[in-house]
Each structure stands twice: as structure tokens, then as C-alpha cells.
Structure 1
Amino acid sequence: MQYSSYLLELLGLWLFIFLLFNIINPIPIAATTRMKLPPNVTVPAIFGFGDSIIDPGNNNNLNTLSKSNFPPYGKDFMGGIPTGRFSNGRIPTDFIGVSFASGGSGYDPLTSTISSVLSLSEQLEYLKEYKARVREMVGEERTEYIMKNSMFLVVAGSVDIAISYFDIPIRRIMYDVDGYASFLANSSSTFVQDLYELGARRIGVFSTLPIGCLPSQRTLAGGISRKCVENYNNLAQVFKSKLAIKLDSLSNSLRDAKLVYIDFYTTLLDMIQHPLNYGFEQVTRGCCGTGLIEVAESCNKFDTVCSDDTKYLFWDSYHPTERGYELLSTTLLNKYINGFF
């Protein structure tokens, strides 16, 4: 299997710098976020895997339409530079860690093939590359300490549901809703076990988004009134139930592992259903363009943007704004953080 030399060099440099500063002058994770760690707990690093929710620009040099390294993306990022993050500013991993994720990826191998992006198995290969480089720098013992005590977060499944199941007929021919949810849950379980084999012990796995309530899906399948799409959300709910059961089972079989199921679905849905509780005024449209369908290349420099993106939960028709991401990240991690220790 061949991997992009550019990405290997970029990830290598990025993680080298992160690790170097962490070894010489460790930075408490809690000090850089609103995350509250238990007393006397060390987290050397936080790593992310999955899709566009936590992709910091890993797709920029891939031959794919699933990228966002152009305006108006990044308008509120440092210097107003579009970096490939699918938002107006920072994304979850900017609040909590670093990421191997690739926008358009998922648990279903078909998903990354359709989007021409990095599959989860390829992301895992980059982790192996990272681990080998760290071992060269600091030795085996310190490397295993970093792997054992770092947090590994997996955010995937949403693109599988939106694209591979509902947009492409082959999966609906092969699986009913329950069957596809089981397929995704099994794939997630396998990925968690692969992380464990590489030395990870603190692993958090996110449920999907409430896919049917995203602006794009409301537009495409929600009818003239753009209601939340029940069959999309139904599959997401079946999957999240199966995922929670899988992780609970793995917790009993993987020695010393701390596996945490993180309910992304319910938290984001609450923001959508009760926006004023979070300070949002618009939750059914994105800030970019009409807010109905624009995402990735269809959200570009020719589109106007809303005057105040802090009032919007979504930046484009699929991804939250920086403010939405910050609220989601801090809410979820503070809720689930103790499960990692």
C-alpha cells in the first residue's frame, strides 16, 4: 500500500513538534482547553481519527472533492487562512489534540473509496508511522508510555449513513437498516481493537451526528418544509445503540483498556432543538451561501456568508461553526472525561 509522501512528511513534522514540546515542557491538556482532568492525571497527547468533523487539512493534497482549503473556509482561523478545516475557524481537535482524520472517510470501506480520501485503515498506518518515529526519538519505554496514557478519539459513521447507505443503492440492496448498523458497529469494534494492539488504552468512540437534522439533509430529503429526515436519524440511532453495546463488550475483554462511548448525537440534537439555550439563532441553515446545500467546493469565494457566524450552529450545510464545535467539544469531553481514567 502506497501512502502520500507529502502527508507522511507533514504529519511527521507536525507530530514531531507536538511531541518534542510535550516531552521538554509538558503542557497539561486541561490548561489549553476547558476540559477538567482528574487530579494527578497525565495525558501526553490526544489523537483523532475519522472524518471531516476533525480533519485539520489532511485532504488538501489528495485528489478529492472533499476538501476546504479555500475561502470562505478558515475566515476566523488564525490569519484568516483556509487550512482545510471544514469550518470558519477551529475544529474539535484544535481544542483538544491532533488528528489523522480525513474528510469523507468512514467505517465502511466504500465510503472513503467514493470520496477518494484516507480510509480508517490508512489513518491507522499513519499512526504506525508516527509511533515508529517517536520510538526513534525517545526510545521504546517512553513511546509505550505515550501510547498507553494518551487519549484516542474516533469520530466516524456519519458519512457512511449519509452517502454510502442513502445515496448509493448497493448498500441498501445488501443490508437493511439493522444490518448496516451492525456492519458499522462491527467495523468500529475492529478499529478499536487495532488501536489497542498498537498500545492505545484510553479510547473514546463518538456516535454519529443526527444526520437527518443537518441542513443539507433537510434540503435533500426533508420535503418542502425541510424537516429532520426520520429514516436517516433512525439508522443513526440504531447504530449508536449497537456501538454502545460493542464497546461495553470490548471493555470486558481488552485488559487495562478504558473504552468510552461518547453520545455526539444527543448533544448536537439538543442544540438543534433548543438553540436559545446555547445562544444560537439559526440551526436549520449554514452560514455559507444560502445555507441550504453548500458544503466543500460548493461553499467557496463566490458565496456570501452570514454577518455573525457566532449566532449560527452550522458553518456550511454539514459542519458546525467554530463556536458550535467549541461548545460540543467542551460539553462532551467534560461529560465523559472521567471514563478514560
Structure 2
Amino acid sequence: MQLSNYYSRIGSIILILLLFIITCKGALQNTKIPALFAFGDSIVDQGNNNAIKTLAKCNFPPYGRDFEGGMATGRFSNGKTPPDLIAEELGITNLIPAYLDPNLKAEDLRTGVSFASGGAGFDPETSRLASVISLLDQLEQYKEYIWKLKRVVGEEDANFILEKSLYLVVAGSDDLANNYFSATGFKTRLHYNIPSYTDLIVASASTFLQELYNLGARRIAVLSTPPIGCVPSQRTLGGGILRMCAENYNQAAELVNAKLSREIDSLNQRLPQSRILYTDVYNPLLHIIQHPQNYGFEFNNKGCCGTGKLEVAVFCNKFSGTCSDVSKYIFWDSFHPTEKGYRVLLNQTLDKIINSLV
């Protein structure tokens, strides 16, 4: 009688384990957005530049001042950045790690990573000038990630994750600010005027998006180039003695955006089952900058770090000093928004992303 009860209990345990395995697999298949991936520049770089030789770094104080534990992780802000905030809003995970994070765990691969590199652009020359990871090299890392993911979850679930996940693509700012309009971009200006260079940016963006699609991505949110002429550093460099918005920079950004929007429409028609969304951040951010009081900000033309007019990356450091109340600032340093700035901007754009892609 006792032996019979023993085998009965063993059978029950095996049945429970089988049901658990089946339920876990079904849970993955029922997840709307299982993971989030990011490609591009410093807006979505979660710390990849920590692992390479470049001046475009921020893995030191005061960066990360308001991050969990007050740690400088390589995110170009005082706190969380768009990949973290979007993943949190979608219920995917609280933080999206950098792919090159030495502490990356196998389970992190299931919910997504960032391949982005601060200073990168759609134009490969932009990444070369900053000695950072180009968009094409980010794709190579993504291919490596796919191989790793399949080893962790199996091919079937890996393919499901790749197809159903959300992909953020954020680039273009550095092509204009740190290449074309910069002192180091004189060779670019010799070969291109604004119309032809914006054609190059959009053609490179299109090639990247098609390659990403070929690797299994279907839900892709491409953020527009922001009003780059109104960020603090570009006001200082191109806005005259009064540090007004550099209108020629903004006009170039608007031209990129108009061409990029048309190209994305064309890609959606040509690529079966693609859902590529052009996401306008130019106009929402410009409105925040022009009407800061409407959003609870006081300072719209300088960052919280140092003077806020030029300090960014290695020039925003422990000797720079920071503002006492970061919530009053749209920008953290002279180029990147604060966590609050990102949250306010995403409040105006995330619904469109969710309604269109989720």
C-alpha cells in the first residue's frame, strides 16, 4: 500500500512538472511584446561605450546621479533612458542592459538589450569620427546575439522573440551635430551640401532598416531627428552670442525627417509584414523647449551639469558640479535630456508607438 502511494505521488509530481513546462512555453507565446532592442546613438546607449576606446563615455559621476543606486552605468543621463522607460511601460522589464555589459546574464537575453553606441550615426563616417560602434557593427553584434538567444531558449522561441519584439532605432543627431556642422566634419562639407548629405543619411538609414528586417525584425520604431539646433551645446556653437536655436541645424533635421518619413512609407509597402513606424520627436521636443513652464521645467537652454552650455561626456565629470534641482531642467548635460525630460517626451509619443506596433 505504501509503495502504491509512493508511485502515485511520483506520477503526480511528473504531471505537475509537465504542466509547468507547457504553461511556461504558452506564457511566452501569449506575450505581446516579449523583448525590446535598441540600435543607434547615445539616446539609447545603455553602456556599450564603456567597453570601447572612445571619448564618448559617461561611466563616471555625475552621470547616473539619480539612477538606481546612484550608479554611473554608461547611460547618458542622470537616470533612466528611453529603452528603460518604454520597457517598463510595456511591462517587459525594469531595465534594458547594454549588450556589452560584462555582467549580462543569459536570462537578460530574453527581454532584450541595447546595441547602441553614443556618437554613432546613420552615416558610417560619423561613427568613425567618434571612434564608436557603427550601425553596421551593431547589426553584427545582433547576429551574435541571435545565436546566443537560440542556445538559451531554443530556435522556436527565439524566432518568436525576434519577430514579436519592439525595436528602437535612434540616430541622425550625431550625423548633423558631430559630423556635418562640426569642426571635424569639414571633409563631409567638401563633398556634400545639405540636400545631398540628408539623402546620404536617409539612404544609409534605409539600408540599415532593410538589414534589420532581414534578420527577423518586424515591429520597428524609428525616432526622428530632434530639433538639434535647440539643444544647449548647439545653441552655444551655432546660435550666436545670444545662444538662440541654430535654425540651419533645425532645418537640416527637418529635411532628414521629411525624407525619412517618405522612405519608411516606401519600406512598409515593399517589405511583407513589416510594421516600421516613423515616430516624430522633433515637434514634441521643440514644443517642450519653447514652452518649458507647461511641462514643469524652468531651464530650457542649458543642462544641469556644469555651466550646462558645453559640458557633455568626459567634460561633464565630478569636477563640473551639477544643479541642485534637476527636475527644473529639460537637459542633463549640454546634449542629452534628464530622465524627467525623457518621461515628458515619451508621454507624447509612446501612445502612438503602442497603438501602431503593439
TM-score range, shorter chain: 0.7 to 0.9
TM-superposed CA distance for 1:81, in Å, is 1.1
CA contact (8 A) 1:216 1:292 kept: yes
Matches within 5 A, 1:59-78: 59-78=49-68
Matches within 5 A, 1:130-141: 130-141=145-156
Q: Which residue of 2 aligns with 1:33?
A: none
> Residue type of the partner of 1:226?
R
1:328 paired to 2:345: yes
- The structure whose Rg is larger is 2
CA contact (8 A) 1:26 1:44 kept: no
2:33 to 25, 43, 52: 43
Q: Which residue of 2 aligns with 1:54?
A: 44
Q: Which residue of 1 aligns with 2:186?
A: 169
TM-superposed CA distance for 1:335, in Å, is 2.6
Q: Secondary structure at the match of 2:154?
A: helix
Q: Which residue of 1 aligns with 2:300?
A: 283
Q: Which residue of 2 aligns with 1:89?
A: 79
Aligned length: 308
Q: Which residue of 1 aligns with 2:265?
A: 248
TM-superposed CA distance for 1:332, in Å, is 1.2
TM-superposed CA distance for 1:75, in Å, is 0.6
1:124 paired to 2:139: yes
Q: Which residue of 2 aligns with 1:184?
A: 201
Q: Secondary structure at the match of 2:156?
A: helix
1:159 paired to 2:174: yes
TM-superposed CA distance for 1:95, in Å, is 1.1
Q: Which residue of 2 aligns with 1:271?
A: 288
Q: Secondary structure at the match of 2:277?
A: strand
- Give, in whole Å, the separation in 2 of the partners of 1:26 and 1:126: 28
Q: What's the Cα RMSD here?
A: 1.7
Q: Secondary structure at the match of 1:54?
A: coil
CA contact (8 A) 1:107 1:157 kept: yes
> Residue type of the partner of 2:312?
V
TM-superposed CA distance for 1:137, in Å, is 2.1
TM-superposed CA distance for 1:41, in Å, is 6.8
Unaligned runs of at least 5 residues, structure 1: 1-22, 28-39
- Give, in whole Å, the separation in 2 of the partners of 1:52 and 1:107: 13
> Residue type of the partner of 1:161?
L
Q: Which residue of 2 aligns with 1:30?
A: none
- Give, in whole Å, the separation in 1 of the partners of 2:150 and 2:53: 32
Deviations 1:21-78 (A, max 9, x none): xx78969xxxxxxxxxxxx870011111000011111101211000001111111011
Q: Structure 1: which 4+ aligned runs deviate by more than 6 Å?
A: 23-27
- Give, in whole Å, the separation in 2 of the partners of 1:137 and 1:57: 23
Q: Secondary structure at the match of 1:59?
A: helix
TM-superposed CA distance for 1:138, in Å, is 2.1
Q: Which residue of 2 aligns with 1:221?
A: 238
Q: Which residue of 2 aligns with 1:312?
A: 329
CA contact (8 A) 1:69 1:83 kept: yes
Unaligned runs of at least 5 residues, structure 2: 1-23, 88-95, 97-113
Q: Secondary structure at the match of 1:53?
A: coil
> Compared with structure 1, are the counterparts of its residues 24 and 80 closer, same or farther at alpha carbon in structure 2 (3 Å cutoff)?
farther
Q: Secondary structure at the match of 1:317?
A: coil
CA contact (8 A) 1:259 1:339 kept: no
- Give, in whole Å, the separation in 1 of the partners of 2:280 and 2:145: 29
- Give, in whole Å, the separation in 2 of the partners of 1:214 and 1:259: 27
> Compared with structure 1, are the counterparts of its residues 25 and 50 closer, same or farther at alpha carbon in structure 2 (3 Å cutoff)?
farther
